[in-house]
Amino acid sequence: MSPSPTALLCLGLCLGRVPAQSGPLPKPSLQALPSSLVPLEKPVTLRCQGPPGVDLYRLEKLSSSSYQDQAVLFIPAMKTHLAGRYRCSYQNRSLWSLPSDQLELVATGVFAKPSLSAQPGPAVSSGGDVTLQCQTRGGFDQFALYKEGDPAPYKNSERWYRASFPIITVTAAHSGTYRCYSFSSTNPYLWSAPSDPLELLVTGTSVTPSLLPTEPPSSVAGPARQYYTTGNLVRICLGAVILILLAGFLAEDWHSRRKRLRPRVRAVQRPLPPLPQTRKSHGGQDGGRPDVHSRGLRS
């Protein structure tokens, strides 16, 4: 009878031998702190993270022969030649891990900033549509829209010095601060400075009153006013229904109380009035007929 795999593993552990792992090791993760969009002359840190007990890390810049055997790369001041794609891996004993996902390190502020606008306006009712337009004076053919808090920008390739980013059926999640960048496809990691921030407000949702514009654009005021009018009608109808239900409950309770009290009322026993007494004739000549005067009749 041959020993089971569990018995072989226990025997190997007792002898101080661990079976070699078959196949490559799992890939590590690579991230840029604080962001992969780095303004020129600003610091950034690349960090490769693998499992505990790694023997060796290797961090390399693709499309070049440069690499370093360490997990952390600190860049004190961002330069144009440092922009590009990076990846990392690690080694345990004689095995190398799979490479991490590629990280695109972008240098921003290389060119003048574009302008960002919203059509029909920066305030849009929930469920409506809005288009963010990024426009530049340079001859760039690539544009990127970045929303604060999102992990990566939205890229779009359009010529004629502008790009449109339509947002269909907006929700509260689309509210936030947006910026756009322009760059060239020949240098995809050298971007312009970010545009001035654009605050997109989605009305008709739970938003702070102080954030609402005092005078919304005319193209947005109509749908917003219609939304609030419909909301008021719904609230009035709900209030009427609640009042009707409360009135019904009160009436039913009143009737049920009246039914419970009714059997407890008893009729008052009163004596009957005495019957009228008849007079008998003293002479007895009339054959016992009652005296007419006893019935109150007078001729």
Per-residue pLDDT of 100-120, as tens digits, reads 999 999 999 999 999 999 999
* Contacting residues for 163 by C-beta, under 8 A, at least 6 apart: 133, 134, 143, 156, 157, 180
**Cα end-to-end distance, the chain, whole Å:** 143
Fold of 112-218: Immunoglobulin-like (2.60.40)
- DSSP SS3 for 10: helix
Show Cβ contacts of residue 212 under 8 Å, excluding neighbours closer than 6 positions.
123, 201, 203
DSSP result, 114-145: -EEEEES-SEEETT--EEEEEE-SS---EEEE
Structure confidence by residue, pLDDT tens digits, 13-30: 444 444 455 567 899 999
- pLDDT (tens digit, 9 = 90+) per residue, 241-298? 677 777 777 777 666 666 555 544 444 444 555 655 544 444 444 444 444 444 443 4
pTM: 0.59
Residues with Cβ within 8 Å of 124's Cβ and at least 6 positions away in sequence, in order, are: 118, 130, 170, 200, 201, 202, 203, 220
d(CA 106, CA 40): 10
User: Where do the H-state alpha helices sit in the chain?
Assistant: 5-14, 218-261
Q: Give 78's contacts (C-beta < 8 A, 6+ positions apart).
A: 38, 39, 40, 41, 42, 43, 44, 107
Average pLDDT over residues 63-81: 93
The set of residues, in sequence order, having a beta carbon less than 8 Å from that of 113 and lying 6+ positions away, is 192, 193, 194, 195, 196
pLDDT at 173 over 70: yes
Q: What would you report as the CA-atom Rg of the chain, rounded to the nearest whole angstrom?
A: 46
Binning pLDDT at 50, 70 and 90, where does residue 49 land? very high
CA neighbor of 188 nearest in space, from 74, 110, 92, 293: 110
Read off the DSSP letter of residue 160.
T
CA distance linking residue 186 with residue 31, whole number of Å: 25
Give the pLDDT mean for 52-65.
Answer: 92
Name the CATH topology of 23-108.
Immunoglobulin-like (2.60.40)
pLDDT of residue 74: 97
Residues of the chain with CATH 2.60.40.10: 23-108, 112-218
Q: Are 176 and 162 in contact (CB under 8 A)?
A: no
Give the span between the Cα atoms of 266 and 107, in whole angstroms: 98
φ, ψ for residue 144, nearest 5 deg = -140, 135
